[in-house]
Amino acid sequence: MNQAKHIAIIMDGNGRWAELKGQKRVKGHEAGAEVVRDVTKYCAAHKDIERLTLYAFSTENWKRPRLEVEFLMKLLEKYLKNELSTYVENNIRFEPIGDIRAFSKSLQKTISEVQKKTEHCDGLVQSLALNYGSKDELLRAVNTIKGSEQDITEEMLLNALDCSHDVDLLIRTGGDHRISNFLLWQLAYAELFFCDTLWPDFSSGELEMIIKEFKKIERRFGGLK
């Protein structure tokens, strides 16, 4: 039976959720942050799940309205500060991926502090993809190793990526069927699940149902069995 050791989620639909309720888009992001906590704690309680990688802010998200971006930055910093106790109490290690150098010094400091204060945790690893784009990740990895005198190998490239762990299960909420520049290398043999549920309405119960469906799939990785 398949094990969803590494689950990745594209958390889509926050803004649309709020608009459908006649609220400002930022209310959707606030509601979505609550779901992040619920899903993360669920994964932490299931020892067969080793990693949870969440697409929180992409390299393309800077194109959004300035006020929305500013709100997202404040929400992220608030979330990390508030969730530190949740991480520690649930033995969760926080490992960001992406290029955080574009963020404010204050936010960079908070990200680093939470990472440092949870590095002793040996349960679930929760990664937030922050200012992350897979094309950017690959370019940074290539630039890291391009001075090598030997031919670049798959292992060298993998070790230079932000995330060196293959994804077993990718979930995208919100109804769209695309992967939006997320973990292109790591998704090579992942099983992809797309659901219409907007992220603020997603729950650990729906995640559990998806995992059950995932476990029924025959994964051949290019072979016959």
Q: What is the 3-state secondary structure (H, E, C) of 18-56?
A: HHHCCCCHHHHHHHHHHHHHHHHHHHHCCCCCCEEEEEE
Residue 222 lies in a domain: no
Selecting among 2, 61, 166, 201, the annotated active-site residue is 61
29 in any annotated domain = yes
Q: What is the pLDDT of residue 221?
A: 66
Give the list of residues 6+ apart from residue 215 with CB closer than 8 angstroms, or none. 1, 2, 3, 4
Examine the residue annotation and report whether 82 is marked as an active-site residue of this protein.
no
Which pLDDT score is estimated for 150?
85
Active-site pick, 12, 14, 162, 168: 12
Number of domains, the chain: 1
Q: pLDDT tens, position by position, for the chain (225 residues)?
A: 788 999 999 999 999 999 999 999 999 999 999 999 999 999 999 999 999 999 999 999 999 999 999 999 999 999 999 999 999 999 999 999 999 999 999 999 999 999 999 999 999 999 999 999 999 999 999 999 988 778 889 999 999 999 999 999 999 999 999 999 999 999 999 999 999 999 999 999 999 999 999 999 977 666 555
* Residue 61 belongs to a domain: yes
Q: Is residue 1 part of a domain?
A: no
Residue 224 lies in a domain: no
What is the 8-class DSSP label of residue 147? T
Domain containing residue 84: CATH number: 3.40.1180.10
166 is annotated as an active-site residue: no
How many Cβ atoms from other residues are within 10 Å of residue 40's Cβ? 22
In a domain, 120, yes or no: yes
Record the pTM: 0.95
DSSP-based three-state secondary structure for 150: coil
Domain that holds residue 19: 6-216
User: Do the domain assignments include residue 162?
Assistant: yes
DSSP class per residue in 179-200: -TTSSTTTTTT-EEEE----GG
Task: Look at residue 180 and tell me if it is in a domain.
Answer: yes
